[in-house]
Structure 1
Amino acid sequence: MAAAERTRDRRERDTLSVEWVKLELLRTAYATRGGLLASRDPRFVLGWYLVFAVVPWLTHDLTVLTGLFLVCAAAVVLSRVGPLILGLFVFGFVLESGYLLIASWFFGGDLGTVLALAELTLKLATVSLASMAAFVSLDPEKLSDALLALHAPAMVAFGVSYGYRMLPVLMEEFHTVVDGYRLRAAPPPPPGFLGWRAVVRVGTTVVAAFYPLMLNTAKRTRTTVEALETKGFTYAAEHPAGRRIRLAHLRADRWDVLLIAVTVLLVAACFALGRAHPLPVQPG
């Protein structure tokens, strides 16, 4: 009885953890947490993101890059990025930093090599933080409307929105297919040393579920596209009057302008600090 209760409790914890991951992904995709950038005009949010996606590649100064990294880290906190995405970023950042340090030491690198690798790591981390802060704050509708307002092709804007909205469908299809494999499969063997049999079993199930998952999703996609075309979606998206009606709700206010102004001032302050206390890394 005790062993059965422990097994049931473990399965309940696993189920809850999977559900937690699903909920975190949905909260991230649909921007349900709010935050600093969630209430701003999506066009200005994309502009804010482009600043931090481009500026880090225009300098080699570690002081400037550190300042930009700290600004983006503060934006992530104010944007209320979820613990799942933030945890994955921290794990990847620490793992990459350790890997680069070990690689530079193993191949006989000196302090200059370490600083050059630190420069690259800071650039990638800054862009990653800016991406998290911006796209966690944009739901599919806002992101699609912002792209359409910036004169992106209508199909691109629709593809972004549709891809976001297909996320719950993909997750449900994945669970359905995996549950079907589990019902038809033999009872799992003992996990083995460090649970290697369980890892192999999960990996095999995920690979086997890929094809039926894509097939079921393709069927749903075809049904959705046919329904949209029946309602005249393509014509409405490309016609000027349809675009004007769809984008009529976009309104920029002084807070959006203030967001860009403060961002430019912070970037300028980082460069001024870098000029006062330079830590250059020579490229090449």
Structure 2
Amino acid sequence: MGTRREALTVEWVKLELLRTAYATRGGMLARRDPRFVIGWYLVFAVVPWLTHNITVLLGLFAVCAAAVVLSRVGPLVLGLFLLGFVLESLYVLFAAWFFDGDAATALALAELTLKLATVSLASMAAFVSLDPERLSDALLSLHAPAMLSFGVSYGFRMLPVLMEEFHTVVDGYRLRAAPPGPRGVLGWRVVLRTGTTVVNAFYPLILNTAKRTRTTVEALETKGFTYASEHPDGRRIRLAYLAADRWDVLLIAATLALVAACFGLGHHWPLYGTAG
């Protein structure tokens, strides 16, 4: 029964990773033009670093948190973020106490934590809403190098291959290994056995993936992928479906208005984490 539960847990993690990578949940940003989604993300990736006002940062954090909810971010990614955010907050409090800091020290550390958390939330909302093809086409439309857009798309598409390859290698090690002995105190032997298997599986995983990558690249080049990506006619045909509408413009306008409102709120109730 324990093995079945473990298998279901592993399968759930695999499905969550695939849903995240291929934007199958939909959401507010998933329906928008990918170029405008990238622009939306850049706003929240840059603006938090332009202020030391914690009130402004709290406002930006709230906006990005609302975007995460509207973008239907999966529980796995959201749970990992919440765990990291809680641990980081505890670290801030501990560091301020351990180094005999006062409230100003805690505020300065909280400022950095809020900036990183805001950018992380914006990243989740934006890139969970973009499937590999649309993200790659958006980068190509913005005149990014063809190899960069291909690398992004290929990296996402290699995720299922990596997961399947990892399971194959780990299952091979488990079949050839001796039966597990006693679990030990708090199951330390199980943890040690699992860690050793994962480390041993790393090199075969990379080797097998490299073989598949070479085969894929050779097949793409045979079909003229590089030429089609760099030729103007090929780019025009590939990007013909990209079209912005008034809702995309409204997204950017509403985002800028919310950012301005956060700065206005910070002007009336300033709270600074860094002096000067």
Aligned-partner Cα distance in 2 for 1:106–1:134 = 37
User: Are 2:224 and 1:232 equivalent residues in the alignment?
Assistant: yes
Structure 1 spans left out of the alignment, 5+ residues? 1-8
Amino acid of the residue matched to residue 23 of structure 1? L
CA shift, 1:110, in A, is 1.1
The 4+ residue runs of structure 1 with deviation greater than 2 A are 281-284
- What residue is the counterpart of 2:75 in the other structure? 83
Point out the more displaced range, 102-111 or 162-171: 102-111
- What residue is the counterpart of 2:270 in the other structure? 278
CA shift, 1:214, in A, is 0.4
Number of aligned residues: 276
**Correspondence list, 1:66-105, <5 A:** 66-105=58-97
Aligned-partner Cα distance in 2 for 1:258–1:171 = 39
CA shift, 1:267, in A, is 0.3
Aligned mate of 2:136, from 120, 141, 144: 144
- What residue is the counterpart of 1:159 in the other structure? 151
Amino acid of the residue matched to residue 64 of structure 2? C
User: Are 2:22 and 1:27 equivalent residues in the alignment?
Assistant: no
Aligned-partner Cα distance in 1 for 2:83–2:182 = 30
Percent of aligned pairs with the same amino acid = 81
**Deviations 1:16-73, CA, capped at 9 Å, x for gaps:** 0000000000000000000000010000000000000000000000100000000000
User: Are 2:121 and 1:135 equivalent residues in the alignment?
Assistant: no
- What residue is the counterpart of 1:4 in the other structure? none
**Deviations 1:149-204, CA, capped at 9 Å, x for gaps:** 00000000000000000000000000000000000001112221111111111111
Aligned-partner Cα distance in 2 for 1:25–1:221 = 21
Amino acid of the residue matched to residue 76 of structure 1? V
- What residue is the counterpart of 2:233 in the other structure? 241
Amino acid of the residue matched to residue 10 of structure 1? G
Aligned-partner Cα distance in 2 for 1:144–1:118 = 35
CA shift, 1:101, in A, is 1.2
TM-score, structure 2 normalization: 0.99
User: Are 2:203 and 1:211 equivalent residues in the alignment?
Assistant: yes
CA shift, 1:283, in A, is 4.2
User: Is contact 2:26-2:72 (8 Å) kept?
Assistant: yes
TM-score, structure 1 normalization: 0.96
- What residue is the counterpart of 2:163 in the other structure? 171
Aligned mate of 2:28, from 36, 40, 43: 36
Aligned-partner Cα distance in 2 for 1:121–1:151 = 33
Aligned-partner Cα distance in 1 for 2:209–2:273 = 48
Structure 2 spans left out of the alignment, 5+ residues? none
- What residue is the counterpart of 1:180 in the other structure? 172
User: Is contact 2:110-2:273 (8 Å) kept?
Assistant: no
RMSD: 0.8
User: Is contact 2:40-2:252 (8 Å) kept?
Assistant: yes
Aligned-partner Cα distance in 2 for 1:49–1:195 = 43
